[in-house]
Amino acid sequence: MVTSGWPPAATGPLSKFFESMFRFPPPDRISAVRRRSLKARGTPWLPMLAVTAGLALTFAPWPGQAQPSPLGEPGAQVEQADPPSRVATLTDAAGNLSFAPAGSDEWAAAGLNRPITTGDRLWVDNGGRAEVHAGTVAIRLGSATAVSVLNLDDNATQVKLTQGTLQLRVRALPPDQPVEIDTPNLAFVPREPGDYRLDVAPDGSTTTVTMRHGRAAIYGESRSLEMNRGERMRFAGTDLADAGPGDLPPEDDFDRWTASRDAREDASATARYVPRDMPGYAALDGYGDWQEDPGYGAVWFPTVVATGWAPYSTGHWAWVAPWGWTWIDDAPWGFAPFHYGRWAYIGHRWGWVPGPRVPRPCYAPALVGFVGGAGANWSVRVGGGPGVAWYPLGPRDAYRPVYRASPAYVTRINRVAVNNITVDNRFRREQRLNRDVPGAISGMPARNFVEGRPVPRNMRGNEWRNLPHGEARGAPPVAPVKGSLLGAAPARQLPPQARQGFDRQAIAARPPGQPARDDLARRFAREGGVVAGAGPVWRGGETRPRGMGAHGAPNVRMSQAAPSARPGMPPPRQDENAGRRPPAGGERGAPAMGGDSWRGNGRGLTTRPDQAQGLVQSPDGQRQAQDLQRQQQQSIQRQQMEQQRQQQEQQRQGADLRRQQQQAQERQQWDQQRQRHDAQDQAQSIQRQQQQSIQRQQMEQQRQAQDQQRQQFEQRRMTESQRQQADQQREQMEQQRQQAERQRQMADQQRQQQAIQRQQAEQQRQQVERQRQMQDQQRQQMEQQRQMVEQQRQQQAIQRQQMEQQRQMQEQQRRAQEQQRAAQEQQRAMQEQQRAMQEQQRRQQDQQRQMQERQRQQQQQQQQQMDQQRQQQRAQHGRGQMDARNGPHDGDRRQ
């Protein structure tokens, strides 16, 4: 039942139970009313709290006892396999697009927001295109393309491409989530995030791989190689036979379309509020806006909806295994808000509150609560017949999956962030607020529901709000029919070439997954949830769809070169020429580097004996050897698959026997718990009916007050936003002014330094002139002075070169300053260029400082040389005076 989270099997002690009940105060509209009501009538609540504590102790499991899922189906054990928390969806389509669900060979037109999982197939007709999103992986399909989903779960994304064009954008590649594209010629496994394109010929004879960004491993039947960014190769056969690099075609419409889709995702504003692993997040940008709400935090409000619109009111229901009844919305943005997070009625409009921003959000088929019962006791009547009605769950409402799920899965899917506080909704017993919102409950006849027809417009029954609380879990127990898989979509006939493409065998590097078993459909059929006149009950896929081998396994051939081909054995050696070969196509038209093109079957190592010995066989002999080897491998694979199937069958029988025994014990416990639960619901229903009339009046008054507060808050927020923008502009202008002032000061310092340098040059020139005048008196030191003068001339030449470089740098600075002044006029649009120019100026100034330091050192050397010269001149002058004084005395002696 949607309204209750009993029994609290995963709570443990009583203290944890109360902590989960009362840890977070509700931020909704009636939180204050509830607190006043509890305070005013505190005495009647004391006995109810005592009863709650007794029930908590009664329902708490004993140690060692099997614990059923607190919100899942009775008997669902913790150790059972959970459904995948990750699916893909169709986010864009043009032209004719056909779809066949897992377990069926009937094709119909595919629309947006259709969940895609393991076993589904897509065909894009001539002139069409489509985009599929799965977590951080985007798969774009071109014209005349056939793809099959071999595996899509929490651990892998594996797609089979048998003809056509596929562009693969891998935004993130965690180690535990490999991506693989299998074609008739090879298995393509990206090694890192990147952008890749694969083109398979219409007859499946060749596969062309274009590496735009990233690195990938290519696996053939018995060989493997690595390809890097900028390479392009065309492969033929199944063992990486090189069919030539081919010419790089010019950019076509498909390339431009994929580039525009990548740019749209990169610039998405919604990515600031939700993780990029959430499929369909980018579609929200053009159809709504994000606002901050005091009670819920970040909320997305759709802007393109009709008056009186409510969530889950425009679309249809489809049956998707293993989740069961799944909502498919008609809006182009209608995937993420209907499978993640919750909806809240704020003021007079609906807003979507996303879940916590985690790397891997958990997918749900539809986050709604179904009112009334089904089966033999239909409590919802539409047009005199049985009907189905539902409403969107709120941020504090627990979603209770009807499919088998463990407590850990239920905990993960019920964690919703409310105003940055993560709330665990598993055990909450709050009143369903959205249930009482006028127009929130949508409904339709049960037969139309089962047949997948669109929800009728204005099918709103206010009387459904008066039904007793006690609705089913996440879906009504209504058995599907075959038409539930595709709904009312027009049937499509595949062209012959498309059917041949799906029948082709592909090379795989890892074993494909198996489509989910439809145990839920069989269970609903056994429980009698059959709608009269809807047709035979669907009990799961029993036929063998096209493209599947024996026992429903995908038609693939395992590569012997892949690490997963032979457990416990090392993979075969790769072709050594693969690591040394030049790029085949280069970067978008770049010519190949050197020599002949690399050939896959050429001179490298191989696992085939005849090629390893250098023998040349005839084509017939090679084909016979390949056919014999292929037959042996297929025989071994069939034996292994048969052994695995027998082991799985034995394990399944043993698990079914244990499950039946456990279910028998748990049914008895569940019946006792349900009786106690019903008694408590009756007591609470009486109190709830007494409080509802008072609460409705108080809620209406509070809504009006909140509308006024919200309008005032919106006005204050807009005023504050404008003030902040003005402050930011003033700060930016002040920063620019300070930068200009610093640049002006730097320019003044440079001019001063240039004046000092000119003075120094003038002084040097005067010193040279004095040295020339003193040359007549220094005849004995002429040779030494001449050498020194020559050195000085060389130094002056170096200085002139440095001054020329400084002048050029000053000219560059002047030009940079002019560019900065022009950039300042453009302000914010040219800030990035200003930072680049400032960085260039800083480097130039560093160079100037280095050059000035060198000049200072040279000047010191010149000063030292001049000091030496002055000392020498003084010594010469002293000797001259002594010679002058001694001259007359020498004459007297000679006389």
Are residues 179 and 248 part of one domain? yes
Are residues 476 and 562 part of one domain? no
In a domain? residue 877: no
Are residues 245 and 99 part of one domain? yes
Residue 746, classed as helix, strand or coil, is helix
Are residues 53 and 143 part of one domain? no
The pLDDT, as a whole number, for residue 377 is 56
Q: What is the DSSP string of 151-188?
A: EESSS-EEEEEEEEEEEEEES---TTS-EEEE-SS-EE
Are residues 205 and 348 part of one domain? no
Q: What is the CATH number of the domain that holds 151?
A: 2.60.120.1440
Are residues 201 and 172 part of one domain? yes
In a domain? residue 797: no
665-708 pLDDT, tens digit per residue, is 766 776 676 667 667 766 766 776 677 667 667 777 777 777 77
Are residues 320 and 232 part of one domain? no
- For the chain, the C-alpha Rg in angstroms (whole number) is 40
Report the distance separating Cα 344 and Cα 367, nearest Å: 12
Domain end call among 452, 469, 485:
485
Report the distance separating Cα 116 and Cα 152, nearest Å: 9
In a domain? residue 371: yes
515-526 pLDDT, tens digit per residue, is 988 888 888 888
The pLDDT, as a whole number, for residue 594 is 36
Tokens of 544: 């063998």
Are residues 73 and 93 part of one domain? no
The pLDDT, as a whole number, for residue 16 is 43
Residues 6+ apart with CB under 8 A from 814: none
Residues 6+ apart with CB under 8 A from 483: 450, 451, 452, 534, 535
In a domain? residue 113: yes
The pLDDT, as a whole number, for residue 246 is 59
User: Do the Cβ atoms of 344 and 350 come closer than 8 Å?
Assistant: yes
Are residues 133 and 74 part of one domain? no
Domain end call among 541, 568, 583:
583
Are residues 47 and 182 part of one domain? no
In a domain? residue 181: yes
Structural domain count of the chain: 3
Report the distance separating Cα 221 and Cα 238, nearest Å: 6
Number of Cβ within 10 Å of residue 153's Cβ equals 18
The pLDDT, as a whole number, for residue 468 is 52
Contacts 24+ apart (CB under 8 A), 266-273: 270/300, 273/298, 273/300, 273/354, 273/357
Report the distance separating Cα 675 and Cα 691, nearest Å: 25
In a domain? residue 421: yes
Domain range enclosing 851: 841-868
Neighbour-count burial of 522, counting CB atoms closer than 10 A to its CB (0-12 exposed, 13-18 middle, 19+ buried): middle
In a domain? residue 746: no
Are residues 161 and 54 part of one domain? no
Nearest partner of 279 among 449, 84, 128, 2, judged by Cα: 84
In a domain? residue 490: no
Which residues of the chain fall below pLDDT 70? 1-80, 245-249, 373-379, 416-431, 459-474, 541-554, 564-623, 663-664, 666-667, 670-671, 673-675, 677-678, 681-682, 684-685, 688-689, 692-693, 695-696, 887-895
Are residues 231 and 259 part of one domain? yes
Domain end call among 558, 583, 608:
583
* 618 CA to centre of own chain: 51
Tokens of 588: 């978008």
Report the distance separating Cα 830 and Cα 817, nearest Å: 14
Dihedral of alpha carbons 506, 507, 511, 512, sign:
negative
